[in-house]
Amino acid sequence: MTAHISRHTGQKYSCTLCEKCFASQSTLSQHKNIHTGKYKCTECGECWQSSTHLARHRRSHSGEKPFECSVCSKRFTRAGNLVVHSRIHSGKKPYKCHMCVKAFSHSGNLNTHMSVHTGDKPYKCSLCNKSFSHSSNLQKHKHRAHSNRRPYHCPYCVKMFKTEDDLKHHVRIHTAEKPYSCRHCSERFTSHYQLKTHLLKSHNDGTWLTCHICQKKFSRSDNLNTHVRRHYGVKPYVCSDCPMCFCTAGELKCHQQKHSEYKQFGCGVCGKCFRYKGSVKSHFIKCCNDQ
């Protein structure tokens, strides 16, 4: 009851070691276990709030996935993830926004969506001052943008990744797995975003995201946000080696290769190395034709 009332009154319990806020003292106390290292993974060093969270995380290293989807046989480490996944096949979206027609299969997605209407972004990164509407988005940002640690290794190649989700998406390149199926036709897709775009374009199923300036439509919120930044000339990603600024992290990363002598992309035919992926692709085609 105390936690519930705090949500109405706006009362927050703040962690003194990071920016996160919580609706109850007990949740805050559990969160502090992350900073003390009480529940620490011996494989990758990540800390968790409780022994239950740690046990779930360890499954990502052991590969144990006891919960199987009865439709597509995809397996999960948690029962809750299986419940949410099953809504892809059933099309159920029980969490509906009371301010627009959008509905969601997960309550967390609805909570994140509400910031579109309220404009509220209470979670600010202490390293670059970028703000987020949800604490999980802030944690993902910190992990992706400000950490060089890549504990997740691809079992098929030498690539390493910062998050388990990044690894999962990459592995599908090797396995050709397409776990997302269209409920209107036989098409299958490797990612949820590909399925969402297909539903919108081919079946008019879903809601397009529209730019309020030029009325251009998008299927993904991140693409819309980047598009709107270009209208306003907002370039939050600044190069550390020169004054140039960019709209997206990808554009900055591509630019920073100009300042580096490292050539990470190699031709599989002749072994010649290049700084840019596009360069090695065009070279590879030419190299194959010359053989």
Please indicate whether residue 100 or residue 148 has the higher confidence score (pLDDT): 100
Measure the CA–CA gap between 3 and 39, rounded to whole angstroms: 24
Residue 198 — pLDDT band, cuts 50, 70, 90?
very high
Length of the chain: 291
Closest CA to 28 of 42, 39, 14: 14
pLDDT over threshold 80, residue 76: yes
DSSP letter at 71 equals: T
For the segment 87-116, the average pLDDT, to the nearest whole number, is 81
Q: Which residue has the higher pLDDT, 209 or 135?
A: 209
Scan for tokens 């996944």, then name that residue. 85
Q: Quick one: how far is CA 238 from the chain centroid? A: 22
pLDDT for residue 117: 75
9 pLDDT more than 70 = no
**With bands split at pLDDT 50, 70 and 90, how would you rate the model's confidence at 214?**
very high
% of the chain exceeding 90 in pLDDT: 3
Residue 6 has pLDDT above 80, yes or no: no
Tell me whether residue 88 is exposed, middle or buried, using C-beta atoms within 10 angstroms of its C-beta: 0 to 12, 13 to 18, 19 or more.
buried
Is the predicted pLDDT of residue 10 greater than 60, yes or no?
A: no
Mean pLDDT on 250-272: 79
pLDDT tens column, 172-192: 888 988 888 898 999 999 888
Look up the pTM and report it: 0.47
Sign of the alpha-carbon torsion through 145, 148, 150, 151:
negative
State mean pLDDT over 260-270.
Answer: 75
Q: Over pLDDT 70: what percentage of the chain?
A: 93
